[in-house]
Amino acid sequence: MDAVMPEIHLVRTDIRMRALVEDCCGWNKKSWADAIEFAISALPDDLRGKKILEIGASERSTVAPIFAAMGAQVFCSYYLKPPGFVENAQLKYIRTKYHLGEIPTLETSISEIAGRFDVIIMKSVLGGIFRNNDYNGIRAAMHKLLRDNVSEGGVILTVDNGYIGPFHKLRQYRGTGGNSWSYLARDKLAASLAGLDVDVKGFGYLNVASASLQFGRNCEFLNTLVYYMDKAMIFFFDPSERAVLSTIIRARR
């Protein structure tokens, strides 16, 4: 990746960013888009000259195009997928819809990344890699990325499924990640990253399952309906837990 020749990347001011972010999220679009927007609020609007790596893109969701539209040099990685599985799915759909250029893809695990990047971004990744509430594994991985793969002054952005006590058993039973998936608790995640500069914010409460994942893309409107119910419920009751956690991680200076 270090050998790639620099290219001229333009900031796409013609794109409505919120629509792009929602499309990139794939499912429960509005809840996840809120979380992604918080994460990228840590970055300048113009990312020309910056190198960005997405870890863990899938056929249904990839956030790499967001950074391409902001002018960055972007790499999109995935793991244990057949050739073309990611390239010809959601990534291709978004690139075509928004008239974005090529986004290089590569297969690599989180522990085998080569090169340095100004931003490393992950969406719905940590809970699947570090299963059964392996917060120690998360801590070790974040320290390794900051030491070996994040440029000086760079940042890790990670958006993950949060722990919601009343719905936890249901998510383990019906969730696409299976019963070993880690739904991260905000306080435990922050504690595991002690010693780093960390900002964690949660989003949503009721939007813990996805109608579009269970029944198809045409059912995304049900997720949107729950999203607005969620907004009202949080406004009136403000529960402490959140369905999605957005985390900004930097090395402490």
| In-domain check, residue 9 | no
Angle subtended by helix axes 220-237 and 29-40, to nearest 10: 60
The closest of 122, 120, 118 to 153, measured between CA atoms, is: 118
The one-digit pLDDT tens for each residue of the chain (253 residues) are: 444 444 556 678 788 999 999 999 988 999 999 999 999 999 999 999 999 999 999 998 999 999 999 999 999 999 988 888 899 999 999 999 999 999 999 999 999 999 999 999 999 999 999 999 999 999 999 999 999 999 999 999 999 999 999 988 888 776 667 789 999 999 999 999 999 999 999 999 998 877 555 556 678 889 899 999 999 999 999 999 999 999 999 999 8
Structure tokens at 180: 């070993």
Q: Which pLDDT value is given to residue 159?
A: 98
pLDDT at position 82, please?
Answer: 83
- Identify the pLDDT of residue 178: 72
11 in any annotated domain: no
In a domain, 1, yes or no: no
Is 6 among the domain residues? no
pLDDT at res. 207: 85
Taking the C-alpha atoms of 222, 126, 37 and 219 in order, what is their torsion angle to the nearest 10 degrees? Answer: -10
pLDDT at 166: 93
pLDDT for res 103: 95
Residue 122 lies in a domain: yes
pLDDT at 176: 64
Under 8 Å between Cβ of 67 and 104 = no
For residues 233 and 216, give the distance between their C-alpha atoms in angstroms, rounded to a whole number. Answer: 26
Q: What angle do CA 72, 121, 218 make, to 5 degrees?
A: 100
Q: How many domains is the chain partitioned into structurally?
A: 1
Backbone angles phi, psi at 6, to 5 degrees: -65, 145
Helix (H, G, I), strand (E, B) or coil at 106: strand
Residues 72, 155 contacting (CB under 8 angstroms)? no
CA-closest candidate to residue 203, choices 18, 63, 28, 27:
28
Say which CATH number the domain at 145 has. 3.40.50.150
Record the tokens describing residue 202, joined without a space: 């949660």
Q: Is residue 84 part of a domain?
A: yes
Question: First-to-last CA distance in the chain?
Answer: 27
Q: How many Cβ atoms are within 10 Å of 236's Cβ, its own excluded? A: 7
pLDDT score, position 7: 55
In a domain, 65, yes or no: yes
Q: Which domain holds residue 183?
A: 17-250
pLDDT at 3: 42
Q: Is the four-CA dihedral 204, 180, 132, 124 of positive or negative sign? A: negative
5 part of a folded domain = no
